[in-house]
Structure 1
Amino acid sequence: MTDRGNAPYSPDWARVRRRVATRPWAAGVLAAVREDFSRWARDLVIPGPDGQSAWAHTYFCDADGAPLTFGVTTPERHVCPQCGRTYTGDPWDGAWRTKMHNAVAAQAQRAALLVRLSEDPRETAAARGELERIFATYSRDYLSYEPHGANAGQGRVQPQCLDEAVWAVGLLRALRWAGDVLTPATSAAVDDTARVISDLLRPQFGLIHNIRCWLVAALAECAARLRDEELLAWCRDSEFGAEAQIREGFHPEGLWYEINPHYHYYAVSALLSYREAAGPAGLSAESALRLSRAITAPPHLAYSDTRLPAYGDGWPECYVGDFAPQAEAAWTIVPEEPVDLAPYYTRPRPAPVRLWSGAQSPSAAPAELTGRSSVAALVFGPDDIAPAAVAGNGGSFVWPHAGIGLLRSTRVRLAMRFGPDSGWHDHRDKLNVDVETATGWSSLDLGTSGYGSEFTTWMRSPVAHNLVIVDGRRQPEHAGRLLESSERHLVAESAWDGHVLRRAVSVDEDGWTDEHTAALAGPGGIEWVFHGDGAFTPEGAGAGEPVRLRGDVGHDWLRDACRLEIPPDRRLRGAWSVDGSPRLVLTVPDGFEVYTAVADGNPTGRPLGVLLLRGYDRQARFRARFRLPTS
């Protein structure tokens, strides 16, 4: 990067051009951008103010949680790719408009890249023309879009302030990258639009939250466009400005308070976008170091295949490499602490070229590259990176502030969450555990689907987690606490309304031991739940008596439920019906019954076998020994 004082962290275009000429991966990224630009120049529609946008989280199937297929030419027909169910009308039509507005912002970024990097005068002219069309249309119509929103404030073009901010970041960054390419009339109109966007978003500012991180990024882009130093200072130092978001939003270990990796990196993307627009003075040295720590922390949680756990409202298909663009951008935007990019390329998977953060195009058949396949790598990352280490293969650790303890032996990775409540996205699942084994069997957190999908009701329910349920209710908002920890042992406690739950887990070379105790304020219903890959099959017993499990915390999503016969010694023995499953020996408390069932939503794609113990007492102790097969 050249020395521009406190100018925004804009790409060094001469260096990027040299990179395209000398690095095959960079040339591949630009070629994919060029191909996508041509396709979207043909297909792009800018939805007018006659139809309102709607929450994109409604664009999921109620039956199975799959995202609906975005058809560029079918704005009134939306199909589930898994079950074929078709949705018509609003809110799905409105969500289609939201996605198309995002596609417009994404196209603006492609156009900016081609303006700067193309050597073909005709292509450069086409890119300039596309930018003129996009910005002239929005500047002309922006005030005609009625403010609306029901979930997170209001937007005009988009359905809430969050989406409006992300869309605005993508557009204004693209124009900042492209330079002075608009006609004078359109350029002046963009200034006016930036003021209106600022006027819309600034009153909705408040709270420490990923949404507000995006608002501060959008406001910083508006300030950079308008050269408004007062607004830039406010973005940094106001009560909920960038400094506060980083200081109060990230735990000292580097994890965002909402815990799950998607919202972690979502907040990181926003704050990197903020600093990109605000320049070096946009953050104090201390905040810059904590933002850098937010890049290095999550890979420590990864499974052996680099999948990240989908805690809370995380998405189950989530790998360390999915967030390589944030690490690449941090390499330049947070230069105070060198970022190790190697963990983000440990096991690279084919992926479509991702634009630098902001609105992304919903692409039906994107070209895929393996390795460094992002615009962030092209414009912000180093020319080359060191050979990749192995993500997620470190030792045991405890993050007391984030409230996560992770134990590792040579054959088991087991994590337990016990920390503070993480807000609206928390699944209220204190003391939940997730497990991966060297034999290929796992018990993963299910994460979530679209928030407007009925399937998410199941994924958020207590029965979908490995924990103890009291009185058939979801846990209230509360914080757990760590009691003991060592390299192979972890004990934590969760307490509310006079109830005290305690869980002790230990790992060794043969498997792991899990002891969960419940001491209630008075006699009540107690359920112990554990799930894993494959249906659970008890030893020395038949299929069991078919039953219908009733309850209000996810039981309705269980199918093929059976009541099992309990052995005389009250030790249930069995395993899950896939290769590599551990053999379980579980002590069943007196007065408790045992049930098995199967459910959907397992991130591995296998059937989810659920084992459930149910009883009524003031206290209970569940001791489970999981022993892995030796060959």
Structure 2
Amino acid sequence: MNAAYTPDWQGIRRRVATRPWAANVLAAIGSDFTRWTDDLVIPGPDRPSAWTHHYFCDADGAPLRFDPAAPASHACTRCGRAYTGEPWDGAWRTTMHNAAAAQAQRAALLVRLADDHRAAEELERIAAAYAGDYLSYDIHGVNAGRGRVHPQSLDEAVWAVCLLRALRWADDALTPATSTAADAMARAIADLLRPQVGMVHNIHCWLLAALAECAVRLRDHELLRWCRDSPFGAQAQVSEGVHPEGLWYEINPHYHYYTVAALLSYREAAGPEGLSEEAARRLSRAITAPPALAYSDTRLPAYGDGWAECHVGDFAPQAEAACAILPEEPLDLAPYYARTRRAPVPLWFGNTSPAPGCVELKGRSSVAALVFGPDDVQAASPGRPGSFVWPHAGIGLLRSPAVRLAMRFGPDAGWHDHRDKLGVDVETATGWSSLDLGTSGYGSDFTAWMRSPLAHNLVVVDGARQPEHAGRLLESSARRLVAESAWEGQVMRRRVTVSDDGWSDLCTVTLAAPLRIEWVFHGDGAFLPSARALPAPGPDGEAGHAWLREVRRIEVPHDRVLRGSWEVDGAPELTLAVPETFEAFTALAEGNPNGRPLGVLLLRGHDDHARFHATFRLRGPSQAAG
């Protein structure tokens, strides 16, 4: 196999000298390096690290505030609730380990691009600390494999990629003793991670990336071939894990781009022969596909365990890196810069600590752009993609002048799937939306609500989550989608149709025996029915009911047609046929990604069949949505 991809350091120096954006990135790296030189403390092997998914508030799902100077003090960034002791102290140590690997990458860049002697000393300090103590960190972990420095194989792998890449970029600017110790560390990392590779999954892509870095450092050609060709090697990860349309099988954009970063990191280390040309082209489609799903503000839908604050521009580093690491297919970077936000300079790929004080830039502001991207990005072409269906990924998206509506009907997406087949998410031209809520930290109580059926626009049977299964597409056109979801004698069909002034939604349910059936739809603002609504006991049971508040029972009109709208500007007017014997409720809930109140409308009955027909009409002139 060929050697690892080596950045053109002389060309990057020219870029810094001739492109202001590149000079700004390098200056920010230097400033952040100085800031972290003062704050960085490398946690020793005496106390174990812990899962960073514990670093979220139970009450509202917001992340806790990481303070480098306060290893035993943690507070919610939203409500201020304080947390002390374990596992939060251990999660703080995990975050600091990530900060050390990130600092190593900054140091390597400054060694290469600024001949910075302080950076060489800092790189030596970090490498010597970990290489000298690596085997003293106890193997531990319960969530996703086991690590030494980190609490699981995934975090261990990401940390190892960032640290070993920094040493490779710096051309091993270490003392001979530290370099020898780093070799031993790489062998120990390989011995720890290689036996844990065992499935097609984002975690295992990161294990392969770390193993490729170990193999390159150790010149271990057998290990590098194994990383590519083993049953769960990189070739299998791409061919079996990436749908032909370009979407990673776990569907949600966060894990999609997280996996893409792992596979790009793998190929960066493994070199051109690390993937076949066909696999490289499919991986290129993983860069071009997701922007087609975006809302008008460039937010990406948080399907499954996705993170709600994901925008296309957040993943520009992956697109920039792909320009050099996947030369088989030309890539258009313009969609990734259609709208950008000021943020700390993203490393490639490393977990930038959320601690305050780092320089924030806007536009082309990543290490990946500096090291891998082209000198300039062409302007975006006007217009957006129309309606489309991805049959393998199981997503259909409809667009009209009034609305952007997507429905998911595909195969199960694994552990991160919220089991919400036939769920829909909507954005209107008038600014109203019904978004997928995504997730919070997996150790947070709030995530139980976000994963519950009632947190999705669904028909729920017997108050339970759907089992693992695949839906199927029955019909599609530019204005209509029809899909089916069936298991254990239960059959659901959903037909959604968009028009110039709104959309219609028809759901039918057929069961083998009478069970509780609930139709639920939520959106921006409290739902205000035209009929009278009275305070009522909350609909009890599982499936997220406990998270509903201000529950009110709606008096269903004699004609069984419920009318109303959500209490925000631009909300659609709803007309909903309520089946006989079904009751109607309205409530509020938390977790709307855009920060607005989340108004929930729920119909409930007990039967072996039901038909729900809803029509949504927008008031006023419409414009192109999304």
Q: Is residue 228–residue 275 contact of structure 2 (8 Å, CA) maintained in 1? A: yes
Letter in 2 for 1:49: P
1:625 maps to what in 2? 615
* Residue 570 of structure 1 pairs with residue 560 of structure 2: yes
Distance in 2, matches of 1:184 and 1:366, equals 33
1:72 maps to what in 2? 68
* Residue 180 of structure 1 pairs with residue 184 of structure 2: no
* Residue 226 of structure 1 pairs with residue 218 of structure 2: yes
Percent identity of equivalent pairs = 72
* Residue 49 of structure 1 pairs with residue 45 of structure 2: yes
Letter in 1 for 2:173: V
* Residue 346 of structure 1 pairs with residue 338 of structure 2: yes
1:287 pairs, out of 279, 294, 307, with 279
1:126 maps to what in 2? 118
1:204 pairs, out of 196, 201, 214, with 196
Shift of 1:360: 2.4
Distance in 1, matches of 2:548 and 2:390, equals 34
Secondary structure of 2:6 counterpart: coil
Distance in 2, matches of 1:390 and 1:237, equals 42
Secondary structure of 2:364 counterpart: coil
Distance in 2, matches of 1:457 and 1:364, equals 30
Q: How does 1:228-627 map to 2 (within 5 A)?
A: 228-389=220-381, 393-539=384-530, 541-627=531-617
2:54 maps to what in 1? 58
Deviations 1:527-571 (A, max 9, x none): 0000000000011x3342332221100000000000000111110
Distance in 2, matches of 1:418 and 1:606, equals 27
Distance in 1, matches of 2:338 and 2:101, equals 31
Q: Is residue 346–residue 390 contact of structure 1 (8 Å, CA) maintained in 2? A: no
Secondary structure of 1:420 counterpart: coil
Deviations 1:253-295 (A, max 9, x none): 0000000001000110000000000001111000000110100
Distance in 2, matches of 1:26 and 1:72, equals 28
Deviations 1:422-472 (A, max 9, x none): 000000000000000000000000000000000000000000000000011
Q: Is residue 51–residue 90 contact of structure 2 (8 Å, CA) maintained in 1? A: yes
Distance in 2, matches of 1:68 and 1:280, equals 41
Deviations 1:182-205 (A, max 9, x none): 010110110011000000000111
Shift of 1:359: 3.0
* Residue 17 of structure 1 pairs with residue 13 of structure 2: yes
Q: Is residue 124–residue 175 contact of structure 2 (8 Å, CA) maintained in 1? A: yes
Shift of 1:363: 2.6
Distance in 2, matches of 1:509 and 1:366, equals 46
Q: Is residue 35–residue 358 contact of structure 2 (8 Å, CA) maintained in 1? A: no
Deviations 1:86-127 (A, max 9, x none): 1001100000000000000000000000001115xxxx1110
Letter in 2 for 1:297: A
Deviations 1:39-86 (A, max 9, x none): 100110000001100000000000000000001011001000211111
1:7 maps to what in 2? 3
Q: Is residue 258–residue 425 contact of structure 1 (8 Å, CA) maintained in 2? A: yes
Letter in 2 for 1:606: R
Secondary structure of 2:319 counterpart: helix
Q: Is residue 343–residue 390 contact of structure 1 (8 Å, CA) maintained in 2? A: no
2:134 pairs, out of 120, 134, 142, with 142
Secondary structure of 1:427 counterpart: coil
Distance in 1, matches of 2:457 and 2:466, equals 13
Q: Is residue 255–residue 264 contact of structure 1 (8 Å, CA) maintained in 2? A: yes
Distance in 1, matches of 2:535 and 2:377, equals 58
**Structure 2: where are the runs of 5+ without partners?**
622-626
Shift of 1:390: 5.8
Q: CA RMSD in A?
A: 0.9
Distance in 1, matches of 2:310 and 2:267, equals 26
Letter in 2 for 1:127: A
Deviations 1:321-351 (A, max 9, x none): 0000000000000000011101101112222
Q: Is residue 513–residue 623 contact of structure 1 (8 Å, CA) maintained in 2? A: yes
Distance in 2, matches of 1:224 and 1:138, equals 19
* Residue 94 of structure 1 pairs with residue 90 of structure 2: yes
Distance in 2, matches of 1:284 and 1:320, equals 27
Q: Is residue 401–residue 501 contact of structure 2 (8 Å, CA) maintained in 1? A: no
Q: Is residue 253–residue 399 contact of structure 1 (8 Å, CA) maintained in 2? A: yes
Distance change in 2, residues 1:389/1:313 (3 Å): farther
Distance in 2, matches of 1:473 and 1:615, equals 15
Secondary structure of 1:233 counterpart: helix
Secondary structure of 1:544 counterpart: strand
| Runs of 4+ displaced beyond 4 Å | none
Q: Is residue 67–residue 355 contact of structure 2 (8 Å, CA) maintained in 1? A: no
Secondary structure of 1:501 counterpart: strand
Distance in 2, matches of 1:363 and 1:380, equals 26
Q: Is residue 346–residue 389 contact of structure 1 (8 Å, CA) maintained in 2? A: no
Distance in 2, matches of 1:544 and 1:433, equals 29
Shift of 1:11: 1.0
Secondary structure of 1:202 counterpart: helix
Distance in 1, matches of 2:78 and 2:107, equals 34
2:31 maps to what in 1? 35
Distance in 1, matches of 2:355 and 2:378, equals 31
Secondary structure of 2:376 counterpart: coil
Secondary structure of 2:358 counterpart: coil
Letter in 2 for 1:462: P
2:624 maps to what in 1? none
Secondary structure of 1:182 counterpart: coil
Secondary structure of 2:267 counterpart: helix
Secondary structure of 2:373 counterpart: coil
Distance in 2, matches of 1:331 and 1:181, equals 27
Secondary structure of 2:512 counterpart: strand
